[in-house]
């Protein structure tokens, strides 16, 4: 299947999930996760109408951003090392993976230098998997209190990477719990926090995530096909 055909299928499934959940299609933003995939495939997605891409490595995001046309949105969805943050201002629409104060501090500093606001989500490790990054759910509230002091950071919501499961329904509770946490955190009314966005759901489980309230779904394999990490 071509990228164009895959996108039609993903779009059809997003619409069906929205319909099942009684949600409007406009409430869900599809991020096409293009990591490891060549420019030609990204161009095919652009030709099919996609404008929003996700990358999990800073160098790759920078390279693709700089090579592709203006008017596309690049979202940083992967674990972020502090020494790479300086590459992101001017290139990144949203950082989905803020998971430490140390990182937030560096983001604030680098964006301040550019006179820009960093739009971010807080990554939460809902299943407590040791292999994954993200705050424990019970630490999110105090983290938000701390992040309120960073004038160049604006927090829009929460992100999670759910476990890899055979049956997407196994992740339903994780998505529902992230939504509960988001609603709980809405009572924080700091000037730089507006908890609205839920970045959850990947190729294996984005339909369930939409049913449970996702506002961003991050779909890679379902659009671009399987990744071959050996070739990079």
- Applying CB under 6 A, the residues found at the interface with ligand PLP are 33, 35, 56, 77-78, 161, 202-204, 218-222
Determine whether 170 is exposed, middle or buried from the number of CB atoms within 10 Å of its CB (0-12, 13-18, 19+).
middle
CB nearer ligand PLP, residue 3 or residue 152 = 3
For the bound state, the minimum distance from the C-beta of residue 138 to ligand PLP, rounded and expressed in Å, comes to 22
Strand partners, 198: 158
**What does the alpha-carbon distance between residue 174 and residue 140 come to, in Å, rounded to a whole number?**
15
For the bound state, the minimum distance from the C-beta of residue 156 to ligand PLP, rounded and expressed in Å, comes to 16
CB nearer ligand PLP, residue 89 or residue 220 = 220
DSSP E strand stretches across 140-222: 153-159, 193-199, 216-219
**What does the alpha-carbon distance between residue 37 and residue 110 come to, in Å, rounded to a whole number?**
28
**What does the alpha-carbon distance between residue 111 and residue 103 come to, in Å, rounded to a whole number?**
12
**What does the alpha-carbon distance between residue 32 and residue 18 come to, in Å, rounded to a whole number?**
18
For the bound state, the minimum distance from the C-beta of residue 199 to ligand PLP, rounded and expressed in Å, comes to 8
For the bound state, the minimum distance from the C-beta of residue 193 to ligand PLP, rounded and expressed in Å, comes to 22
CB nearer ligand PLP, residue 213 or residue 220 = 220
Residue nearest to ligand PLP (CB): 220
Q: Which of 27, 98, 36 is nearest to 61 (CA)?
A: 36
Helix or strand run (H / E) with residue 45: helix 39-47
For the bound state, the minimum distance from the C-beta of residue 205 to ligand PLP, rounded and expressed in Å, comes to 9
For the bound state, the minimum distance from the C-beta of residue 187 to ligand PLP, rounded and expressed in Å, comes to 28
CB nearer ligand PLP, residue 56 or residue 152 = 56
Q: Which of 190, 191, 192, 210 is nearest to 200 (CA)?
A: 210
**What does the alpha-carbon distance between residue 62 and residue 80 come to, in Å, rounded to a whole number?**
13
Strand partners, 120: 95, 155
CB nearer ligand PLP, residue 77 or residue 104 = 77
CB nearer ligand PLP, residue 28 or residue 33 = 33
For the bound state, the minimum distance from the C-beta of residue 34 to ligand PLP, rounded and expressed in Å, comes to 9
CB nearer ligand PLP, residue 77 or residue 88 = 77
């Amino acid at each position: 299947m071509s990228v164009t055909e895959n996108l039609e299928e993903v779009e059809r499934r997003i619409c069906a999930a929205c319909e099942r959940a009684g949600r409007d299609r406009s409430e869900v933003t599809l991020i096409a996760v293009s990591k490891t995939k060549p420019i030609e495939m990204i161009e095919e997605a652009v030709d099919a109408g996609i404008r929003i891409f996700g990358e999990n490595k800073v160098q790759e995001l920078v390279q693709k951003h700089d090579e592709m046309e203006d008017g596309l949105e690049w979202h940083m969805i992967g674990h972020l090392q502090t020494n790479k943050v300086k590459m992101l201002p001017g290139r990144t629409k949203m950082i989905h993976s803020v998971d430490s104060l140390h990182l937030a501090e560096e983001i604030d500093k680098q964006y301040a230098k550019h006179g820009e606001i960093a739009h971010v989500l807080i990554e939460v490790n809902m299943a407590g998997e040791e292999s994954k990054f993200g705050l424990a759910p019970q630490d999110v509230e105090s983290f938000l209190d701390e992040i309120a002091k960073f004038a160049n950071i604006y927090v829009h919501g929460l992100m999670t990477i759910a476990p890899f499961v055979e049956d997407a329904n196994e992740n339903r509770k994780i998505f529902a719990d992230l939504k509960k946490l988001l609603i709980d955190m809405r009572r924080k009314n700091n000037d730089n926090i507006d908890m609205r966005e839920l970045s959850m759901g990947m190729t294996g489980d984005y339909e369930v995530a939409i049913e449970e309230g996702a506002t961003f779904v991050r779909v890679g394999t379902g659009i671009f096909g399987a990744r071959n990490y050996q070739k990079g």
